[in-house]
Chain A
Amino acid sequence: SQQGEEDPQALSIQEGENATMNCSYKTSINNLQWYRQNSGRGLVHLILIRSNEREKHSGRLRVTLDTSKKSSSLLITASRAADTASYFCATAYGGATNKLIFGTGTLLAVQP
Chain B
Amino acid sequence: GAGVSQSPSNKVTEKGKDVELRCDPISGHTALYWYRQSLGQGLEFLIYFQGNSAPDKSGLPSDRFSAERTGGSVSTLTIQRTQQEDSAVYLCASHPTGGSYEQYFGPGTRLTVT
Contacts and interface: CB of A to CB of B under 8 A. Distances in A.
Interface of A: 3, 30-31, 33, 35, 40-45, 48, 88, 90, 92, 96-105
Interface residues of B, number: 26
Contact of A3 (B42, B56, B105): B42
A89 B62 CA distance: 26
Main secondary structure of the interface of A (DSSP, over half): strand
B57 to A, nearest CB: 11
A44 B107 CA distance: 10
Interface stretch (B19-27, B78-86, B95-103): B95-103
Contacts of A43: 91, 93, 105
The 9 A-B pairs with the shortest beta carbon distances in the complex, nearest first, are A102-B43, A43-B105, A99-B45, A42-B107, A45-B102, A97-B56, A97-B48, A41-B108, A41-B107
26 contacts: A3-B44, A33-B101, A33-B102, A35-B105, A41-B108, A41-B110, A42-B105, A42-B107, A43-B91, A43-B105, A45-B103, A45-B105, A88-B43, A90-B43, A96-B50, A96-B53, A97-B50, A97-B58, A98-B31, A99-B33, A99-B45, A100-B33, A100-B103, A102-B42, A104-B42, A105-B42
